[in-house]
Amino acid sequence: MTSTLHRTTGSLTIGEAITRLMPDGVPFRFTAYDGSTAGPADSTVHVHLRNERGLSYLLTAPGDLGMARAYVSGDLVLEGVHPGNPYEAMLVLQRESGIRIPSPAEAFAIVRGLGWSHLKPPPPPPEEALPRWRRLLEGFRHSRTRDAEAIHHHYDVSNRFYEMVLGPSMTYTCACFPHADATLEEAQYAKYDLVARKLDLKPGMRLLDVGSGWGGMVRHAAQHYGVEVVGVTLSREQAAWAQDAIKADGLDHVAEVRFGDYREIRDAGFDAVSSIGLTEHIGVKNYPAYFRFLRDKLVPGGRLLNHCITRPDNSTTDTGAFIDRYVFPDGELTGSGRIITEMQNLGLEVRHEENLREHYALTLKGWCVNLEANWDECVREAGEGTAKVWGLYMAGSRLSFERNEIQLHQVLAVKPDADGNASFPLRPTWLG
């Protein structure tokens, strides 16, 4: 039964509108502020729309952006689901929803029935990033100023917030699980060690680590492989945290993490370069310049390891409205084939590549567990809206890796010498 106490201004209830959009049945319980309902009452997933602002979010930004705005603002609630780890609810919402895209006539009828007043867009939540000049200057994507702003939005939330979500390793990239029961810390150590072995690091070598984050690779290489390391990150907070950790480990005589753009690195003659989780931010059109820059930092015979999120195909795709506005502004993804092609076109010899997507699903699972366990402190540190963004983003990303919608590839290449030679062992040690 529909209540008339909070009925919308039109002739259609919200529950009726949801039912029209899902003719095969609503697989979750839906309730709304107008008293209407849809879906089975005994569903384990209960979605509640609290107010008219939430409805306006849904109608003025259809798809994941409107849902995210309503959810982050608290207007759309997942009842009985912890916001730090909404994975189980998203399983139902993403896999079983089957929302049908209405025809223009059907959309008109639904909006008219719900009330035209809901087509006035409410201001987006403060957690949303959309610089006022962004749409006018799309051609300036990945300028140094704009990249710095994008990185600041995502990474300068709070070092303490990241400590609680990422755990002691302070590593915000895909781990590599040596076995299914490995802890997140064991898996992050294994990832760094895998990179070090692929790069064939040895005492006395020089490593450049671009996109260093909180310095995990820098410290691992210096401490366990005796190499000299220069790292760089566009996040001021990351650089400060990393430098403190390097000093605490007694590694400041051989390792450093600089605050700045990787393009500002003037040092050269490195034996190896690691790029872990940076390629997603630079823009696909900038791949040739990016890999040329890294190639030119290497000595002949030096190795380059690129570790990044990819697509299952080689088309260029943005990350979607929610990810772009709330998580990774200006992010772009493509397939490993495009990355390999760009490396090869610059004369680098690609020797190995592998897909670690299952490992990233497990990594995200661990981060969600941490966020849920430390929820109250995370909210105090970064705000409830930001914490909800992280829970939604990480649970949704875990699903995407599990469903092979996105992948994680490591690509290893070697810079040949003047004669075109690039020595490589017959059986690399990391292959066992």
Q: How do residues 27-63 score in pLDDT, each as one tens digit?
A: 899 999 999 999 999 999 999 999 999 999 999 987 7
What is the per-residue pLDDT for 107? Answer: 84
Give the E-state strand segments of 199-331 in sequence order: 206-210, 228-233, 255-259, 270-276, 298-310, 317-318
pLDDT band at 353 (very low <50, low <70, confident <90, very high): very high
Q: Kindly state the average pLDDT of the residues 137-146.
A: 52
CATH code 3.40.50.150 region(s) in the chain: 148-431
pLDDT band at 378 (very low <50, low <70, confident <90, very high): very high
Residue 99: is its pLDDT beyond 80?
no
Q: Kindly state the average pLDDT of the residues 77-98.
A: 86
Q: Kindly state the average pLDDT of the residues 167-179.
A: 97
Number of Cβ atoms within 10 Å of the Cβ of 204? 10
**Selection from 140-154, 228-242, 308-322 with the highest mean pLDDT:** 228-242
Going by the DSSP 8-state scheme, the letter that residue 285 receives in this structure is G
Q: Is CATH 3.40.50.150 what the domain over 148-431 is classified as, yes or no?
A: yes
Q: Which two tokens stand for residue 176?
A: 């590599």
Residue 289: is its pLDDT beyond 60?
yes
Longest Cα–Cα distance in the chain: 82
Residue 124 to residues 70, 81, 134, 135, 322: CA-CA distances in angstroms?
9, 24, 16, 16, 12
What is the per-residue pLDDT for 63? Answer: 79
Q: Kindly state the average pLDDT of the residues 332-338.
A: 95
Q: How far apart are alpha carbons 23 and 98 in whole angstroms? A: 9
User: 406-416: string of b/e by CB count within 10 Å (b at 16+)?
Assistant: bbbbbbbbbbe
Look at residues 6, 40, 46, 5 and name the one whose alpha carbon lies nearest to residue 26: 40
Q: Give percent above pLDDT 70 in the chain.
A: 90
What is the per-residue pLDDT for 328? Answer: 77
Residue 316 phi, psi (nearest 5): -90, 125
**pTM of the shown model:** 0.90
Residue 372: is its pLDDT beyond 90?
yes
Which one-letter amino acid corresponds to residue 223? Q
pLDDT band at 7 (very low <50, low <70, confident <90, very high): very low
What is the per-residue pLDDT for 10? Answer: 63
What is the per-residue pLDDT for 425? Answer: 87
Q: Which two tokens stand for residue 415?
A: 């810079």
Residue 408 phi, psi (nearest 5): -135, 115
Higher pLDDT, 96 or 158: 158
Number of Cβ atoms within 10 Å of the Cβ of 428? 14
What is the per-residue pLDDT for 157? Answer: 67
Q: Give percent above pLDDT 90 in the chain.
A: 70
